[in-house]
């Protein structure tokens, strides 16, 4: 009776957790409910963990050692996880997500290894069970290795490297995964050797899969690996007949896939194009474009005058703003100009920065009022009435080549049409290229003036100059 | 062939659940604005941390004399917890900023 009660309570908790996951995801897609949604899902997760600890029948003979290790693991994971998540800078959020995603993938892979070891002891080689173990191991390991490479790339520790014949090697590895995995699942007496071979190939594939993809495409890759880990978790659910793991995993798997596609759509590219086409390849073609005219500089004083006497100013932020940590400084400039009666807004490109929504999060940190952030379509509609457009550390998202030059690697991506405004000021550290590695003819535009220097220092100068007017 | 059919038949509820969940996942996020792509990805990232349950089950079912299972299981618990806790905290931090902005 007691056992029945415990089992029922466990299942009820799992159902409740599944509901919070669904509600959480749903709420995460609407701006005012998102935070609550995240908390709901977190409560659900806590409930599922506590219920498992309380009601799941342990193996007969399991000692307190098992419980001590579980609690120690939970404690260590919580301490490190919280510390990392609280300490991480706003600019480093994307790689943090990738890192945590990799941890989930590794967890799924380790589960498969332990279960395989378990099967080796009991000798019960069931086809279904072995398929689940093999697939869980493959997906988990690929997700782990890929996420760590993505993390390294965004941290700047790993550069973009095109491996000669990379695509062929990847296809061969993929075939090897299917063959070895299939062999492992169907053979009557599998060996640990084979399992570790499968682990090795999976890790290698994960690394080589992400390695050639350009840093600018990392968000899409992280989102894709995120859905991979979801599927790996679902396979764990299969393994234990656990509905919470199954629903949670599959939900993330499918929602993550759709999210990946949405991100690609925002950049007007296909997923296949992101994975196969390497962004870096465009550099040579664009460089061949040659001399495009001369760049005109502007002094901070002139720029300040231009801004202070404008009716409407629009800021196009990019990754440079994030790197310079200039979100508070620009907010200060914004307040100063608003006081002077300037109509001020931010034009946010959907993929500005290193992740969709990156700029929104960054500016939100500096308390920039939400209505000031205009999405690309609205910003473009008002561009002709804008006196000054201030491009801060953004490059590819304002590159007219995306509209005009079919040979450009970013051709077809919608851009913020800065050149429609009456004046353009581009703040940049140097004439270096953007993440796509291509020239930007906007910098050579008649209406454009360059203000070179670190974004934060330059904005600071503008603030001083505006105050002195 | 028989093996595959048995596999299908024995797991028919799971297969049903998977198909419904796939459509649910697509439906639930299909209207997300670009602004929320990153927090949504991060939130989903935390949710697949549910794999931690598997790690706990491993530990509960591990023979106390099987050190390989105990050690690996312990690592799995740590990794899974990192995913869950880190994921939810990072997402909350991202969303906190949206919240602050609404108040003003």
How close is the nearest chain B Cα to the Cα of A95, in Å? 11
Residue A199 lies in a domain: yes
Task: Check whether residue A245 and residue A133 sit in a common domain.
Answer: yes
Instruction: In whole angstroms, give the CA distance from residue A354 to residue A29.
Output: 20
Gyration radius of chain A's alpha carbons: 26
pLDDT recorded at residue B34: 73
* Partner-chain contact B80 A77, CB within 8 Å: yes
CB A58 within 8 A of CB A71: no
Same domain, A117 and A76: no
Are A246 and B21 within 8 A, CB to CB? Answer: yes
Is A425 in the same domain as A319? yes
Residues A206 and A346 placed together within one structural domain of the fold:
no
A140 and A22 share one domain: no
Q: What is the pTM of this model?
A: 0.77
In angstroms, the CA A219 to CA A435 distance is 13
Burial label for A457, CB within 10 Å (0-12, 13-18, 19+), is middle
A283 lies in some domain: no
Nearest to A69 among B59, B79, B102 (CB): B59
Q: State which of A67, A87, A107 marks the end of a domain.
A: A87
Residues A152, A49 within the same domain? no
Clarify whether residues A184 and A199 are in a common domain.
Answer: yes
User: A38 and A180 share a domain?
Assistant: no
A89 reaches B (C-beta below 8 A): no
Query: What's the rounded Cα separation, in Å, for the pair A263 and A350?
Result: 9
Is A116 found in the same domain as A220? yes
Chain B positions in Cβ-Cβ contact with residue A364 (cut-off 8 Å): 97-98, 100-101
CATH number of the domain at A453, please: 3.40.50.1220
- Is A282 a domain residue? no
Q: Which of B:20-39 have CB within 8 Å of A?
A: 21-26, 28-39
Q: Does B15 touch chain A (CB under 8 A)?
A: no
Q: How many CB atoms lie within 10 A of CB B13?
A: 10
Q: Which residues of A are catalytic?
A: 396
User: Does residue A267 sit within a domain?
Assistant: yes
Select the residue from A101, A131, A218, A373 to test the B interface by mutation, using most B Cβ atoms within 10 A: A101
Claim to verify: residue A128 and residue A240 sit in the same structural domain: yes
Which residue of A111, A128, A355 is in closest CB contact with B55? Answer: A111
Contacts of B33 (CB under 8 A, 6+ apart): A29, A31
Domain identity same for A65 and A101: no
Burial class (CB in 10 A: 0-12, 13-18, 19+), A74: buried
Per-residue pLDDT of chain A (469 residues; tens, 9 = 90+): 667 888 899 999 999 999 999 999 999 988 788 899 999 999 999 999 999 999 988 777 667 888 999 999 999 999 999 999 999 887 788 889 999 999 999 999 999 999 999 888 888 778 888 999 999 999 999 999 999 999 998 888 887 776 777 778 888 999 999 999 998 888 877 788 999 999 999 999 999 999 888 767 788 899 999 999 999 999 999 889 898 999 999 999 999 999 998 888 777 677 887 777 554 433 333 333 444 567 788 888 888 888 888 889 999 998 888 878 888 899 999 998 898 888 899 998 887 876 767 788 788 878 888 888 888 888 888 888 888 999 988 888 888 888 887 777 777 788 888 888 888 988 888 776 666 667 788 888 888 888 888 888 889 888 988 888 7
Of A61, A252, A373, the CB nearest to B47: A252
User: What's CA A403's distance to the chain center, in Å?
Assistant: 26
| Contact between residue A365 and residue A403 where contact means Cβ atoms under 8 Å apart | no
Out of B10, B11, B64, name the one closest to residue A65 (CB). Answer: B64
What Cα–Cα distance (Å) separates residue A165 from each residue in A162, A173, A212, A311, A322?
Answer: 9, 12, 11, 55, 35
> What's the total number of domains in chain A?
4
Residues of A in contact with B29 (CB under 8 A): 25-26, 28-29, 255, 258-259
Q: Write the burial class of residue B33 (CB in 10 Å: 0-12 exposed, 13-18 middle, 19+ buried).
A: middle
Determine, for residues B32 and A251 on separate chains, whether the beta-carbon distance falls below 8 Å.
Answer: no
Q: Is the ipTM of this complex over 0.95?
A: no
Chain A residue with Cα closest to B92: A35
Nearest residue of B to residue A360, measured between CA atoms: B35
Residue A264 belongs to what domain range?
93-277
Give chain B's largest Cα–Cα span.
65
Torsions phi, psi of A155, nearest 5?
Answer: -75, -10
A-to-B residue pairs, Cβ atoms closer than 8 angstroms: 399
Identify the pLDDT of residue A432. Answer: 67
Contacts with B72 from chain A: Cβ below 8 Å = 110, 113-114, 117
């Amino acid at each position: 009776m007691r056992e029945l009660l415990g089992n029922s309570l466990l299942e009820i908790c799992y159902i409740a957790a599944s509901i919070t996951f669904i509600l959480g995801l749903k709420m995460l897609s609407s701006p005012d409910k998102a935070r609550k949604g995240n908390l709901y899902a977190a409560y659900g997760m806590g409930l599922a963990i506590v219920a498992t600890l309380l009601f799941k029948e342990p193996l007969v003979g399991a000692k307190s050692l098992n419980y001590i290790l579980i609690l120690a693991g939970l404690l260590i994971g919580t301490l490190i996880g919280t510390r990392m998540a609280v300490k991480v800078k706003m600019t480093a959020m994307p790689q943090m997500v990738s890192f945590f995603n990799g941890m989930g993938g590794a967890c799924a892979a380790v589960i498969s290894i332990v279960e395989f070891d378990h099967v080796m002891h009991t000798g019960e080689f069931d086809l279904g069970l072995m398929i689940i173990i093999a697939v869980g191991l493959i997906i988990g390991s690929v997700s782990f290795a890929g996420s760590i490479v993505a993390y390294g790339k965004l941290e700047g520790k790993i550069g973009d490297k095109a491996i000669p014949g990379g695509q062929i090697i990847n296809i061969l590895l993929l075939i090897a995964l299917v063959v070895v995995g299939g062999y492992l699942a169907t053979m009557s007496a599998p060996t640990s050797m084979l399992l570790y071979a499968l682990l090795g190939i999976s890790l290698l594939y994960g690394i080589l899969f992400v390695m050639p993809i350009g840093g600018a495409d990392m968000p899409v890759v992280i989102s894709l690996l995120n859905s991979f880990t979801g599927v790996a978790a679902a396979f764990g659910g299969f393994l234990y007949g656990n509905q919470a793991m199954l629903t949670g995993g599959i939900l993330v798997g499918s929602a993550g896939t759709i999210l990946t596609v949405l991100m690609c759509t925002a950049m007007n590219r296909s997923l296949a194009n992101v994975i196969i086409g390497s962004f870096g390849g465009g550099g040579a073609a664009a460089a061949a474009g040659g001399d495009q005219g001369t760049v005109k500089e502007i002094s901070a004083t002139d720029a300040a005058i231009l801004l202070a006497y404008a009716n409407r100013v629009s800021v196009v932020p990019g990754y440079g703003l994030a790197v310079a940590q200039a979100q508070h400084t620009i907010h200060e400039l914004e307040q100063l100009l608003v006081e002077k009666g300037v109509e001020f807004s931010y034009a946010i490109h959907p993929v500005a920065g290193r992740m969709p929504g990156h700029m929104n999060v960054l500016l939100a940190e500096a308390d920039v009022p939400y209505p000031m952030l205009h999405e690309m379509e609205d910003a473009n509609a008002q561009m002709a009435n804008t006196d000054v457009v201030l491009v801060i550390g953004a490059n590819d998202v304002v590159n007219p080549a995306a509209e005009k030059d079919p040979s450009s690697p970013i051709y077809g991506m919608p851009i913020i049409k800065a050149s429609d405004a009456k004046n353009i000021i581009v703040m940049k550290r140097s004439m270096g290229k953007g993440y796509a590695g291509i020239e930007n003819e906007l910098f050579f535009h008649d209406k454009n003036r360059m203000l070179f220097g670190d974004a934060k220092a330059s904005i600071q100068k503008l603030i001083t100059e505006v105050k002195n007017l | 062939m028989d093996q595959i059919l048995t596999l299908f038949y024995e797991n028919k509820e799971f297969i049903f659940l998977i198909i419904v969940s796939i459509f649910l996942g697509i439906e639930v996020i299909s209207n997300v604005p670009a602004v929320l792509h990153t927090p949504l990805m991060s939130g989903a990232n935390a949710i697949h941390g549910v794999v931690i349950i598997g790690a706990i089950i491993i530990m509960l079912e591990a023979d106390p004399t099987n050190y390989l299972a105990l050690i690996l299981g312990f690592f799995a618990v740590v990794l899974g917890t990192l995913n869950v806790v880190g994921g939810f905290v990072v997402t909350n931090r991202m969303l906190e900023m949206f919240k602050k902005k609404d108040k003003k």
